[in-house]
Amino acid sequence: MEILARAVLVVAGLAHLLPAVGLRGAPQLEKLYGIAIAQPELLLLMRHRALLFGLLGAGLIAAAFWPPLRTAMLLAGLVSTAGYCVLAFAEPALAAPLRRVAWIDVPIAAALLLLLLARLRTPIAY
């Protein structure tokens, strides 16, 4: 179970680190999300989002190797991925790259949920 827990946390962490390239600016964000970012206010918000995703991704990867972080990071990753899926699937006019992110998040959310439930049900440190 330890190897599986680590693998899920690392994969979820890497998926959350990918948007951190948006910190570099509008061209990277536009390529990543398939939307135009013309306003400086929107650019600021999207870059801040990239920063937060980078922090979440780093936390998930750290939790793979430091078990005391796991419960909190499993919950944070689950809220992030499941929350995005709920919001994305509720929006019918979503750009294709953003819908693709939602479909990637579905199995990640499921794996994080299963790990979180297993962790909460057993006293085993994994």
Which range of residues forms the domain containing residue 81?
2-121
The tens place of each residue's pLDDT in the chain, 126 residues long, gives 889 999 999 999 999 999 999 999 999 999 888 889 999 999 999 999 999 999 999 999 999 999 999 999 999 999 999 999 999 999 999 888 889 999 999 999 999 999 999 988 886 555
**Residue 79 CA from chain centroid, whole number:** 9
Q: Is residue 39 part of a domain?
A: yes
Residue written as token pair 């939307």: 35
Q: Is residue 126 part of a domain?
A: no
| Cβ count near 66 (within 10 Å) | 11
Q: Is residue 112 part of a domain?
A: yes
Q: Is residue 102 part of a domain?
A: yes
Q: How many domains does the chain have?
A: 1
CA–CA dist 102, 83 (Å, integer): 10
